[in-house]
Homo-oligomer: A and B are copies of this chain.
Amino acid sequence: MFRINKLTDYAVVLLVDMARTDKVRAAQQIACDTGVPLPTVAKVMKALVRGNLVISQRGATGGYGLARPACEITVADMIQALEGPVALTACVETTDDACGLETLCPMHGHWNRVNKRVEEALRTVSLAEMASGPIEAFGLPLAERRAALARSLS
């Protein structure tokens, strides 16, 4: 089945952690708290800042925080920040190297309808909902939680 990529998977884990922590933290601290490697945190945060989901504050007490409340960030926003517009097939993605066969192709236009429905579905689930879930997982000893997350994402 079609999958989100590994970096998007990490992004959702980090955003869920940010939603639950709800304070500005340095990338190093986020890496430490979640068990996600620092270079990955840095890469993901860059994409999330670019996608206007996360704000970056400079200075000694700076770091990363959510740009808006978790209930106003959707799964569609998260996936699109990392992967661009919903496009189940290569041919309908907005790209410079369009195949040029749109007028010949009997599929043209139809996949856009499907993509739109999928995007609407992804808009119905918020980060706040993704961050609700089993408290006990977040209450585990840090070392155990970091190891578990690292293993599950490796």
Residues of B within 8 A of A87 (CB): 1, 3
Residues of B within 8 A of A60 (CB): none
State whether B133 touches A107 (Cβ < 8 A): yes
Is A113 an interface residue, CB under 8 A from the partner?
Answer: yes
State whether B129 touches A106 (Cβ < 8 A): no
Q: Which of A44-52, A65-73, A143-151 contacts B (4 or more CB under 8 A)?
A: A143-151
Interface residue total, chain A, C-beta cutoff 8 A:
58
Contact pattern, A 1-45, Cβ under 8 Å of B = 1, otherwise 0: 111110001001100110000000000000000000000000000
The residues of A with any CB-CB pair to B shorter than 8 Å are 1-5, 9, 12-13, 16-17, 75, 79-80, 83-91, 93, 99, 101, 103-110, 113-114, 117-118, 120-122, 124-125, 129-134, 136-138, 140, 144-145, 148-149, 151-152
What are the nearest 8 A-B pairs in CB distance? A121-B121, A117-B121, A104-B148, A106-B137, A2-B2, A1-B83, A1-B87, A110-B130
Q: List 5 A-B contacts (CB under 8 A).
A: A2-B79, A3-B87, A104-B145, A104-B152, A108-B134
